[in-house]
Amino acid sequence: MGSPGRKIVHDRLADILAQREVDLCIINCENSASGFGVTPRIAEDLFAAGADVLTSGNHIWKRREIIDYFPTQPRLLRPANFPGISPGRGLYVGSTKSGTGYAVLNLQGRTFMTPIDDPFLAATRELAKIPPDVKVIVVDMHAEATSEKIAMGWYLDGKVSAVLGTHTHVPTADFHVLPGGTAYITDVGMTGPHDSVIGMEKRGILEHFFDNTMPSRFVVAEGDIQMNTVLIDVDESTGRARAIDRLNFRLD
């Protein structure tokens, strides 16, 4: 979320990845440019900081310069159920430094959001493209409704390693491994200023709620910078998750 979120990623992520012996790091980057969208420079900075794949969501087109960047960087994803004419793709298949194959799938919900293609059908279509020897599969389900995210978790249980909800910026406490071996959480949370209203300065948001007929200026807040994350342990031979834990870090 904006420059505060980028700062804690820059300052802390590399050490966290090394200390926790993380093989695959995925960041949802769609709010990284002043709270709305991402730019090519910011995307490159996040990759340099340790991200292996960047996912996104409904704000991905807020910075138009990102459109021409998509064809050059397959590790930046937009939801796979966006219209087919949209730049980029929603699925990336790669290998970790140790040689383990993995796939990352980006989806977006439709409940209380823009009516786009069915994310459940898109999930089935995109998973069929993944080579059978790739067992580690992580899904970013970017959605407003908790029910839609939970439904996706159950739909994909046993088919993917993890279904991770994003979009609401508020971390949920329901992290667990489903019966089929899929790690699940309704929302990972937010990396950015938590002395705020989902990352924005409180005053502008309050003015909007008091009188939403008047224009309000939303500015990224600055206080209490946190990094909300989940750490997932996956059996590389089967793709089944052994455990999922929610970790939170603060900027000193």
H or E element in which residue 82 lies: none
Order of all β-strands in the sheet with 162-166: 91-95, 101-108, 136-142, 162-166, 183-185, 176-177
* Per-residue model confidence (pLDDT) at position 153: 98
Ranges assigned E (strand) in the chain: 26-28, 53-55, 91-95, 101-108, 136-142, 162-166, 176-177, 183-185, 191-193, 225-234, 241-250
The per-residue pLDDT for range 162-194, each reduced to its tens digit, is: 999 999 999 999 999 999 999 999 999 999 999
> Confidence class of residue 216 from pLDDT cuts 50, 70 and 90?
confident
176 is catalytic: no
How does pLDDT run across 36-89, given as a tens digit for each residue? 999 999 999 999 999 999 999 999 999 999 999 999 999 999 999 999 999 999
Higher pLDDT, residue 211 or 100: 100
- Could you tell me how far CA 74 lies from the centroid of its own chain? 16
Residue tagged active-site, from 59, 142, 169, 194: 59
The total domain count for the chain is 1
pLDDT given for residue 215 in this prediction: 76
Name residue 53's beta-bridge partners. 26
With bands split at pLDDT 50, 70 and 90, how would you rate the model's confidence at 212? confident
104 DSSP β-pair partners: 92, 138
Q: pLDDT digit string (tens) for 91-126? A: 999 999 999 999 999 999 999 999 999 999 999 999
Give the CATH number for residue 66.
3.60.21.10
**Residue 235 above 90 pLDDT?**
yes
* Average pLDDT score over the chain: 96
Q: Which domain holds residue 157?
A: 2-250
